[in-house]
Structure 1
Amino acid sequence: MSFFTSLSGLKNAETDLKVIAHNIANAETVGFKKSSVQFADLVATGSATDPRRSPGIGATIAGITQDFVLGPLEQTGRALDLAIDGDGFFALANPFSGDVSYTRNGNFRLTAAGELEDTWGNRLQAYPVDAAGNPTSTTPADVAVPITNAAGVTLANVTINNRGIIIAAFADGSSEPVGQVALATFAAPNGLRQAGQTKWQATGESGAAVFGNPGIGTYGEMISGALERSNVELAEEMISLLTAQRNFQANARAIDTATQISQTVLNLRT
């Protein structure tokens, strides 16, 4: 029994090491959120078992939780770099499948067709607005920035203010709002499924996305010209790494000891 008990400890320590290594590997990834492993003990008892004689049968993984605390904000000075000072997520739509994912990575770019997208070509979702910048719909959609205005003047630049209003400025000095960035929140963000590329997908455990306007309620304000860095603290991860390594070594030593005891019993002579 001691073999299987220590084996569960080895497997858990290995999982812990994998999660810590993943955190360390993404210490410089924009919008990354660190994870941690939660463990639980296993006890096999019956109604007739003396509770004072229950040694337990090892440990198991209760869950791997994500920490969505705000990471440090880095000023970049680039107009299409966005950070959220709050709990919201940017919504991104895949242009081919239409699937929507969510991210804290606000590094966007403008395409030749006037679309705002991330590095992998997913389209930023925003509310359509009127000439005063007020949303005209509660359904987010792809952003469409006009490359020329009504007079045929070429687009000069695009800026986004702290309310998430996307403003197109043209070479003749005119400007017009073209959308407002839609932010999503979730009842249980720890239930979000990691999809890679610092994106998450909604699940039954997270609940459906609830969209809102930047700066209202729990939706954070937009900070233009900044990016949210990873919330991984390398000093904490190094300490956790040493602890996980000690746990692995201790369980391996327990298996080695159990092996020696078993070998001693097998070598007994009558």
Structure 2
Amino acid sequence: MSFFTSLSGLKAAQTDLNVISNNVANTNSTGFKKSRAQFGDLFAAAPTQQTKSVAGQGTRLNGITQQFTQGTLQSTDKTLDLAIAGDGFFAVKGQPPRQDLTFTRNGAFAVNNNREVIDTIGSTVQLLPVDANGVATGTTAADMFDFVLPASDPADPAALLANISINNEGVVSATFSNGNQMKVGALAMASFAAIEGLRPVGDAHWQSTGDSGPAQINQAANGPLGQVRSGSLELANVDITEELVSLISAQRNFQANAQAIETSNTLTQTIINLQI
């Protein structure tokens, strides 16, 4: 039985090493959230058996959870580089035909050939309609629309787009060559009842699940969503020193369990070699 007990420890240490290595590998990934492996002990005894005489059966993986703590904000001075100071997520929609709605903390946005503002994997950033004061007039998924930069002033087609600005509430304002301004919309932001229940899909993107609850859509500076910081990006929330210390600890655990297996093997071989 000691073989299997130590084997469970080896598997746990290997999983821990994999999780920590992934954290270290993504130190420079914008919007990345570190993960942590959680383990529990294995114990089994018959209903009538005294538990004081029963040893445990090792350990098992209870789950790998992501830590959604705030990452450091780094200034870039690019208007479409956006960071969130808070718990919200940017809502983005995939390209046809699937057009999956996902949520990201990676605000490294750019403009494609169709003047759509997209993220690093080509999903289109979503906006909410706003009134003249920049207050969202609709806060449901059905109200969202694609973030498309206007080429010219709707009231004066000869006046071309000159500048785009985004304030802390996520309101996008367009300035044209004739001096006119127009509020294009507000960035659609999402929050969740149980953020740990989100399903990661890669590239600092997540999908809602039954565990996370549905996305609560609103503009920035409402509730837990936090504020938008234009000209900044959120770095990974990975402390490289902490991860390296954890890596050493996981390596020691692996070596200790491997030594326990070797010891069990030696004892078993000794018993086999006994001559009656």
Residue of structure 2 equivalent to 1:183: 189
User: Are the counterparts in 1 of residues 136 and 219 from structure 2 also a CA contact under 8 Å?
Assistant: no
**CA deviations over 1:22-68 (Å, ceiling 9, x no partner):** 00000111100000111100001111111211101110011111110
Counterpart AA for 1:203 = T
Give the secondary structure class of the aligned counterpart of 2:196.
Answer: helix
Counterpart AA for 2:86 = G
Mapping 1:23-38, distance limit 5 Å = 23-38=23-38
Runs of 4+ residues deviating >3 angstroms: none
Q: Report the count of equivalent residues.
A: 270
Which of these residues, 227, 230, 240, is aligned with residue 236 of structure 2? Answer: 230
- Give the root-mean-square deviation of aligned CA atoms: 1.1
Say whether residues 1:141 and 2:145 are aligned partners: yes
Separation in 1, partners of 2:43, 2:117: 54
Structure 1 residues 225-234 or 203-212, which shifts more?
Answer: 203-212
Residue of structure 1 equivalent to 2:215: 209
Separation in 1, partners of 2:120, 2:60: 38
Give the secondary structure class of the aligned counterpart of 2:153.
Answer: coil
Counterpart AA for 1:133 = G
TM-score when normalising by structure 2: 0.95
Percent of aligned pairs with the same amino acid? 47
Residue of structure 2 equivalent to 1:84: 84
Mapping 1:79-228, distance limit 5 Å = 79-96=79-96, 97-138=98-139, 139-150=143-154, 151-152=156-157, 153-228=159-234
Separation in 2, partners of 1:34, 1:58: 26
Residue of structure 2 equivalent to 1:57: 57
Separation in 1, partners of 2:274, 2:16: 39
Mapping 1:62-81, distance limit 5 Å = 62-81=62-81
Q: CA deviation at 1:146?
A: 1.1
Counterpart AA for 1:112 = N
Residue of structure 1 equivalent to 2:5: 5
Counterpart AA for 1:85 = A
Give the secondary structure class of the aligned counterpart of 2:267.
Answer: helix
TM-score when normalising by structure 1: 0.97
Counterpart AA for 1:181 = L
